């Protein structure tokens, strides 16, 4: 069996091991693969692993040996699964490997906004505290989370993990979800979407990207929010209208924005959120803890083993 990893660097920049693949056949591992390199590298593969390399209908139809695609992520929109199904190609993904890491990033972003630890650490490295006339100083608003309302859009695994942490901070947790109130964990109140936007001091997005949720956060909904509110997006970039959020930040209609995802990655240099005030952007790293990537690799190995044994799991095609 011939196995090709098209873009392995994102998952494994060198601190994990691909050695387990060798027992399944002949292996080729590429750090990155451009569209122009794709066909040459995948031409005779029985198995392909891809993180962000797009496998469309045309590509699938040109790979007669292909039997299996392992997506090295939870989202699998990079693969034309309908065509794969028609061609008998099994496609699997990696579910629920990064729940705790993503939930942790939500609060890393939130605390970066409310406490500005990095800002003060840099100031003090540069001598500001040593030269300060008073025993302390601050030049940014500092917010206590206890008693504030934390709103969540979507209560899947990550949304529920975030809710637990918010509750531990002493926050009131409200959520917009398709689940019934009696199905929700204790301490979470179900509310309508507009009410969520208007009541939340912190609003965090954890819903899938669908035609209905594309630009869920738009100018109209931003107008519903408190001017001091904090918006967090660790879900999918297109859940928000980036220009509308940037405009709200510049106009003082939104307190702050924290995100680990943008609509295009890497973003264009002129993405409005990169220069907007009180905008805190990390480069899609919530999933990238060594623990989460280790779980991803373990699930990946299990998916391939299950496919080889004739009982594929985590199938999305």
Q: Smallest Cα–Cα separation from 174: which of 187, 164, 183, 161?
A: 187
Q: What percent of the chain has pLDDT over 90?
A: 99
Give the pLDDT confidence score for residue 161 in this predicted structure: 97
- The alpha-carbon radius of gyration of the chain (Å, integer) is 22
* pLDDT for position 282: 98
What backbone torsions phi and psi does residue 152 show, to the nearest 5 degrees? -130, 130
If you average pLDDT over residues 164-172, what whole number do you get? 98
Distances (CA, A) of 260 to 88, 102, 206, 273, 311: 35, 9, 12, 12, 35
Positions marked catalytic: 236, 265, 284
pLDDT tens, residue by residue, 70-85: 999 998 989 999 999 9
Q: Mind listing the pLDDT tens digit for each residue in 218-254?
A: 999 999 999 999 999 999 999 999 999 999 999 999 9
> What is the structure's pLDDT at 51?
97
The per-residue pLDDT of the chain, averaged, comes to 97
**Domain residues of the chain, as ranges?**
2-97+290-308, 99-281
Mean pLDDT throughout 90-116?
97
Residue 230, C-beta contacts closer than 8 angstroms, at least 6 positions apart: 110, 113, 114, 201, 202, 203, 255, 256, 257, 258
Structure pTM? 0.93
CA distance to 49, 51, 82, 284, 303, per residue, from 316 (Å): 14, 15, 10, 23, 12
pLDDT of residue 60: 97
What is the DSSP code string of 124-165?
A: HHTTTTTT-SSS----S-----TT-EEEEE--SHHHHHHHHH
What sign does the CA torsion over 265, 267, 273, 274 have?
A: positive
Q: Are strands 256-259 and 172-176 parallel, antiparallel or unpaired?
A: unpaired
Count CB neighbours of 153 within 10 A: 23
Give every CB contact of residue 102 below 8 A, 6+ residues apart in sequence.
Answer: 158, 161, 234, 260, 286, 287
pLDDT recorded at residue 44: 94
Please report which confidence band the pLDDT of residue 301 belongs to, taking 50, 70 and 90 as the band edges. very high
Which pLDDT score, from 0 to 100, does residue 155 have?
Answer: 95
* Strand ranges, E, within the chain: 2-5, 26-29, 47-50, 68-71, 90-92, 149-153, 172-176, 188-190, 202-205, 230-233, 256-259, 279-281
Confidence of residue 41 (pLDDT cuts 50, 70, 90): very high
pLDDT of the residue at 76: 92
Q: Are 9 and 44 in contact (CB under 8 A)?
A: no
C-alpha 69/C-alpha 39 separation (Å) is 14
The reply to whether domains 2-97+290-308 and 99-281 share a CATH topology is: yes
**Bridge partners, 28 (sequence order):** 4
CA dihedral sign of residues 127, 128, 129, 134:
positive
**Cβ proximity of 96 and 73 under 8 Å:** no
CATH of 2-97+290-308 among 3.90.25.10, 3.40.50.720, 3.90.550.10, 3.30.465.10:
3.40.50.720
Residue 314 is predicted with a pLDDT of 97
Please tell me the total number of residues recorded for the chain in this structure: 317
Q: How far apart are the first and last CA of the chain?
A: 21
Q: What is the pLDDT of residues 186-209, one digit of tens each?
A: 999 999 999 999 999 999 999 999
**CATH: 3.30.2030.30, 3.90.340.10, 3.30.70.930, 3.40.50.720. Which one for 99-281?**
3.40.50.720
């Amino acid at each position: 069996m011939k196995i090709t990893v098209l873009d392995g660097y994102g998952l494994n920049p060198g601190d994990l091991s691909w050695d387990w693949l060798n027992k399944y056949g002949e292996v080729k591992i590429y750090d990155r693969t451009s569209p122009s390199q794709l066909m040459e590298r995948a031409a005779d593969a029985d198995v392909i692993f891809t993180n962000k390399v797009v496998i469309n209908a045309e590509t699938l139809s040109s790979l007669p040996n292909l039997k299996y695609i392992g997506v090295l992520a939870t989202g699998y929109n990079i693969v034309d699964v309908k065509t794969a199904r028609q061609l008998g190609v099994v496609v699997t993904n990696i579910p629920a490997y990064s729940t705790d890491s993503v939930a942790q990033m939500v609060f890393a972003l939130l605390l970066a906004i409310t406490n500005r630890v990095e800002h003060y650490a840099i100031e003090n490295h540069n001598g500001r505290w040593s030269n300060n006339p008073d025993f302390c100083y601050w030049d940014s608003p500092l917010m206590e989370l206890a008693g504030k309302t934390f709103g969540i859009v979507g209560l899947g695994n990550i949304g529920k993990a975030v809710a637990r942490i918010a509750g531990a901070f002493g926050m009131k947790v409200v959520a917009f979800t398709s689940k019934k109130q009696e199905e929700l964990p204790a301490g979470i109140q179900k509310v309508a979407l507009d009410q969520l936007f208007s009541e939340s001091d912190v609003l965090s997005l954890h819903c899938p990207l669908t035609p209905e949720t594309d630009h869920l956060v738009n100018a109209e909904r931003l107008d519903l929010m408190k001017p001091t509110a904090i918006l967090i997006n660790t879900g999918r970039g297109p859940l928000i209208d980036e220009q509308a959020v940037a405009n709200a930040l510049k106009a003082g209609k939104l307190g702050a924005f924290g995100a680990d995802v943008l609509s295009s990655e890497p973003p264009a240099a002129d993405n409005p959120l990169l220069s907007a005030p009180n905008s805190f952007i990390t480069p899609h790293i919530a999933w990238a803890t060594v623990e989460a990537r280790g779980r991803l690799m373990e699930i990946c190995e299990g998916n391939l083993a299950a496919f080889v044994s004739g009982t594929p799991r985590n199938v999305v095609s």
